Amino acid sequence: MSSRKPTSKPKLAVWKFSSCDGCQLSLLDCEDELLTVADSVEIAYFLEATRAQVKGPYDISLVEGSISTPEEEKRILKVRKQSRLLITIGACATSGGIQALRNFKNVDDFIDIVYAHPQFIDTLSETRPVSDYVSVDFELHGCPINKYQLLELLNATLNRRKPNIPNHSQCVECKRAGTVCVMVSQGKACLGPVVQAGCGNLCPSHDRGCYGCFGPKETPNTISLADWFSDRQSMPKRDLKHLFRGFTAGSDAFRKESERHE
Amino acid sequence: MGKTSGGRAILPAQSLQTLIDVVHSQGYRLIGPTLEDNAIVYDDLENVENLPLGISDRQSPGNYRLEDDPSAGYFAHVVGPHSWKRFLFPAAQKLWSATRVDQGFSIQTPEDETKLAFIGVRACEIKALQMQDRVFSQGPFTDNGYGEKRQNCLIIAVNCSRAADTCFCSSMDAGPRVTEGFDLALTELQQGRHDFLIETGSANGEALLKELVTRKAEDQDFAEADAQLAATEASIQRRMPSNIPEVLERHLQDEHWQTIESRCLNCSNCTLVCPTCFCSTVEDTTDLTGQHAERWRYWDSCFNTDFSYIHGGSIRQSGAARYRQWITHKLSYWHKQFGTSGCTGCGRCITWCPVGIDITEEAATFCEIDKRS
């Protein structure tokens, strides 16, 4: 690429696919750190923040959203081609997002119900994570992502070190913070033991069970957890199915577990 | 701090505030049991009202509930989700930070000179503190931060007036009677009265006792305290088989590990509530400019795959391997490494396992397997 201007700052691009924009906003939400971020990278493509566009290739591409349409299917290949590092951010990009609920049904049935003129809708039968289409260098989980994890990821990338982003359970985060387990102390349904840490134990510290916004943790034993809810807390099958069909329903582990309770 | 050093007295429960005041006046940060988020946790105590008077707990595998009990004293509860390790071995601790200077970098180490006082420390918890002392302060490599905090730490122990369904300290030789490692030991007496029998275990404790207005302890006070402790001990249902260290080592390849794996969530809760588990991970961070770096230490767990990560991947991939690592270290290899078991029989891992896996039940199963083989 001879057109690339000499610059010492890495070029950052932020791309949107099928999503609500919440994860991109996490970057703008880095209020105190935003100026340093802007200082450390050249924000080359970020339509949520600026109309100015710098051509690729890009050193770091942050990709938000799932792949839901034939157009997105093609566009993600182009993004990959132009990006040295491709990092997917958020539940949509890493597991298909809330829109992956449609994967459990026939999408044409939905289109007929929702749209007055279904013939104008051009969509894929399933919405899938970006990693199903292109190789991804790092997946940052969350719905939305945690801005501190995003900063850590950028810090690590720019300083060429491994990011400190764990794959362990939400329970580790609760225990480190001293948050009392809502499952054991109140019998509340909580996905924490099978969900990846990262949200800052938001729900359990506000007296609610974990909804699984950060998706499955490493080696999640969903069967054992679901059996406990069913045997000990008499949770009906329908509720069990819904428990695993939240924002990360499209992840393999949660999809399979929810299907056990159809 | 040694065994009971002789000082004994009766403090009326209505004067408990004076004990709290004396501890505060000596410059300690006083931490003790208090009601928060549907559990009795350890947190700062300002006054006697912060203690959970009239509240008791019910515990079973994977289950913890509080209940109001008008007859319950200040220390009628048993151990809860917290342990004292979080104050001596914090869950997240900045070890040092570094700032780039003209040539190289300068290092700053955080200093914390807070003196800690713990009230409501149970016999099993004293045992746990002593186990962590061995790990952090008495090995070839010492953790100075832990050592200093621990050395200056005031321990006001409490003899348990009841046991939870998950307790098994008596079979670990760790309770319920407080016998050593305390400055003051309290026994709450409530038969037709509300008093504390105070025993001293150190010169610090003696000095503290002199600051309080107490009356002489009589034979009947000791008799009531002894009877209460005997009843507590008699009510303990669970036990750890004494031959478990060898039994586990004989059955490292048994298929029962797979049965446990099918239940175990490998969520790490057991290790994080355990008062003796000491594993940590160290993380280095940098800021965006690369001018400032920090090194932090966090509680880690052998149930996380990263814990056994070496070049090429994690050694303990399966849940079976991770549970086996935990229980064999705790109950078998700890003896070789530190000269004692790593378990105090507090029962926290049983209560706080989200799916109620019971270490005593698993130990009993392995003993059955051993008998059959």
Q: How far apart are CA B244 and CA B370, in angstroms?
A: 10
A187 shares a domain with A148: no
Q: Which residues on chain A are in Cβ contact (under 8 Å) with B288?
A: 33, 36-37, 39-40, 151, 154-155, 158
Q: Of the candidates A158, A180, A213, which is a domain's last residue?
A: A158
Return the exposure string of B64-93: e unless at least 16 CB atoms fall within 10 Å of the residue's CB, then b.
Answer: bebeeeeebbbbbbbbbbbbbbbbbbbbeb
pLDDT band at A159 (very low <50, low <70, confident <90, very high): confident
Residue A233 sits in which domain range? Answer: 170-259
Q: Do A130 and A243 sit in the same domain of this protein? A: no
DSSP string, B184-200: EEEEEE-SSS-EEEEEE
Q: Which residues of chain A neighbour B36 with C-beta distances below 8 Å?
A: 180
Going by C-beta distance under 8 Å and a sequence separation of 6 or more, which residues neighbour residue A113?
none
Q: Does B37 touch chain A (CB under 8 A)?
A: yes
Alpha-carbon gap: B144 to the closest alpha carbon of chain A (Å): 21
How many residues are present in chain B? Answer: 373
> Same structural domain for residues A144 and A108?
yes
Q: Which two tokens stand for residue B338?
A: 């530190």
| Mean pLDDT confidence for A213-239 | 97
Coil, strand or helix at B111: coil
pLDDT, residue A51, reads 84
Determine the 3-state secondary structure of B173 from DSSP: coil
How far is A188 from A228, CA to CA, in rounded Å?
A: 12
- Determine the pLDDT at residue A212: 97
Mean pLDDT value of segment A164-183: 97
Q: Which of A136, A158, A180 is the last residue of a domain?
A: A158
- Residue A1 belongs to some domain of the structure: no
B177: which 2 tokens? 């009677």
In chain A, which residues have their Cβ closer than 8 Å to the Cβ of B264?
221, 224
The whole-number pLDDT of residue B287 equals 86
Is the domain of A16 the same as that of A93?
yes
Which residue of chain B comes nearest to A154, CA vs CA?
Answer: B288
Q: Among A123, A158, A193, which residue terminates a domain?
A: A158
Q: What is the pLDDT of residue B5?
A: 53
Gap between the Cα atoms of B267 and A218, Å rounded: 10
Q: What is the pLDDT of residue A242?
A: 97
pLDDT per residue as tens digits for the range A51-95: 888 898 999 999 999 999 999 999 999 999 999 999 999 999 999
**Rounded distance, CA A136 to CA A155, Å?**
18
- N-terminal to C-terminal alpha carbon distance within chain A: 52
For residue A48, the model assigns a pLDDT of: 84
- Same domain for A69 and A177, yes or no, is no
Q: Which token pair is B147? A: 């050592």
Indicate whether A11 pLDDT > 80.
Answer: yes
A225 to B265: CB separation less than 8 angstroms, yes or no: yes
The answer to whether residue A183 sits within a structural domain is yes
Alpha carbons A128 and A143: distance in angstroms, whole number: 16
A175 and B273 within 8 Å at the Cβ level: the answer is: yes
Q: Do A155 and B39 touch (CB under 8 A)?
A: no
A152 with A179, same domain: the answer is no
Q: What is the pLDDT of residue A7?
A: 55
Residue A152 has its nearest CB partner, among B91, B265, B285, at B285
Length of chain A: 262
Is A149 in the same domain as A187? no
Nearest CA in chain B to A189: B354
The residue whose two tokens read 């400055």 is: B183
B313-372: per-residue pLDDT in tens? Answer: 999 999 999 999 999 999 999 999 999 999 999 999 999 999 999 999 999 999 999 999
DSSP assignment string, chain A? -TTPPP-SSPEEEEEE-BS-SHHHHHHHT-HHHHHHHHHHSEEEEETTT-S-B--S-EEEEEEESBB-SHHHHHHHHHHHHHEEEEEEEHHHHHH--GGGGGGGS-HHHHHHHH-S-GGG----SS-B-GGGTS--SEEE-BTTB-HHHHHHHHHHHHTTS------SBHHHHHHHHTPPPHHHHH-----GGGBBS-S-STTGGGT-----TT-B-SS--HHHHHHHHHHHS---HHHHHHHTSSTTTTSHHHHHHHHTT-
Task: Nearest by CB to A159, from B266, B290, B352: name it.
Answer: B290
Q: Are residues A153 and A176 in the same domain?
A: no
Name the residue among B114, B184, B109, B110 with its Cα closest to residue B148. B114
Q: What is the mean pLDDT of chain A?
A: 94
- Whole-number pLDDT of residue A49: 83
Tokens matching residue B165: 């369904």
* CATH code of the domain containing A132: 3.40.50.700
To probe the interface with A, which of B79, B266, B270, B352 has the most A CB atoms within 10 Å?
A: B266
- The low-confidence residues of chain B, meaning pLDDT below 70, are 1-5
Same domain for A34 and A109?
A: yes
Q: CB-based contact (8 Å) between B282 and chain A?
A: no
Beta carbons of A249 and A258 less than 8 angstroms apart: yes
Give the C-alpha separation, B39 to A71, whole Å.
Answer: 53
Structural domains counted in chain A: 2
Whether residue A5 lies inside any domain: the answer is no
Q: Is the pLDDT of residue A234 over 70?
A: yes
Whether A20 is in a domain gets the answer yes
B268 to chain A: nearest residue by CA? A172
pTM over 0.90: yes
> What mean pLDDT do residues A149-169 have?
93
Q: Which residues contact B41 (CB under 8 A, 6 or more apart)?
A: A178, A180, B33, B34, B35, B80, B81, B82
Answer yes or no: do A95 and A225 share one domain. Answer: no
What does the alpha-carbon distance between residue A227 and residue B295 come to, in Å, rounded to a whole number?
Answer: 40
* pLDDT tens column, A98-152: 999 999 999 999 999 999 999 999 999 999 999 999 999 999 999 999 999 999 9
A231 in a domain, yes or no?
yes
B103: helix, strand or coil:
coil
Of A40, A161, A177, nearest to B288 by CB-CB distance is: A40
The structure tokens listed for B139 are: 């090995």
The residue of B265, B299, B353 whose CB has the most chain A CBs within 10 angstroms, and thus the best one to mutate to test that interface, is: B265
Contact A103, A126 (CB under 8 A): yes
Query: Same domain, yes or no, for A175 and A150?
Result: no
* A3 part of a folded domain: no
Does A23 map to a domain?
yes
Chain A CB within 8 Å of residue B92 CB: yes
Contact A207 B37 (CB under 8 A): yes
Structure tokens at B372: 């059959």
Residue A6 lies in a domain: no
Judged by a CB distance cut-off of 8 A, whether residue B259 touches chain A is no
What is the pLDDT confidence band of residue A5, given thresholds at 50, 70 and 90?
very low
**A51 and A174 within one domain:** no
Q: How far apart are CA A198 and CA A177, in angstroms?
A: 12
Minimal Cβ distance to B38: which of A36, A158, A180 = A180
